[in-house]
Amino acid sequence: MSKRRTNAAEAAAEPADTFEPAADPAQAAPTAEADASVTQHTGDITQERQPGDEPAEEQTKRKYEPVRGWTSRFTGPVKYRKFTDEPMKIIAFKFNLAENEKLPEDVLAVMRDNKQDAAGQPTGLKFQTTRKHGKIWTIPNDVEGRTLADKIDYRLSQLAEKMGQAQGPTP
């Protein structure tokens, strides 16, 4: 038991991290290994950069836009824009029409068909006139609304292609 106490006392009296300079002048010049051990013992860990170790360029973040566009179709017979409005919590379809122009019946049929699901439950799709966006079709911005918006967008794009082919090539 006493031997254990003396070994422990000796270990406590002697510092664990001691650095003694070399007595030989040839060894006095610091080497990379010696520098690393010195910095490790002093707590200053400095790393030299090697080629290829450059930090990656930070990706520039996009500016927050409360109204964000997703689909825009401004050519052909069906001209519309699908966008989300974060403050209003909606997904909206805005059709570009002339002053006295009305939506084609096929487009209205697509929008009306999606007011209710197959079970007859309302989907939340409705026509609104807002101060901010004017006359738009809106859907709540949730999982079901995003799914419905994708379906409507797909059907409108198919309808636009079909109507564009029926009109023939434009000069």
Which phi and psi (to 5°) does residue 130 adopt? -115, 155
Per-residue pLDDT at 99 exceeds 50 = yes
- How many helical (H) and strand (E) elements, i.e. helices and strands, does the chain have? 4, 5
Q: Is the dihedral of CA 94, 96, 101, 107 positive or negative?
A: negative
- What local confidence, expressed as pLDDT, does residue 84 receive? 92
What is the arithmetic mean of pLDDT over 91-118? 89
Band of residue 66 on the pLDDT scale cut at 50, 70, 90: confident
Domain-wise residue ranges, the chain: 67-167
With a CB cutoff of 8 Å and minimum separation 6, the contacts of 41 are 17, 19
pTM more than 0.75: no
Q: What pLDDT digit, counting tens, does each position of 19-49 carry?
A: 555 555 555 555 555 554 444 554 555 567 6
- What local confidence, expressed as pLDDT, does residue 39 receive? 47
Long-range contacts of the stretch 157-163 (C-beta < 8 A, 24+): 157/71, 157/73, 159/78, 159/106, 159/107, 159/110, 160/73, 160/76, 160/77, 160/78, 161/76, 163/76, 163/77, 163/78, 163/104, 163/106
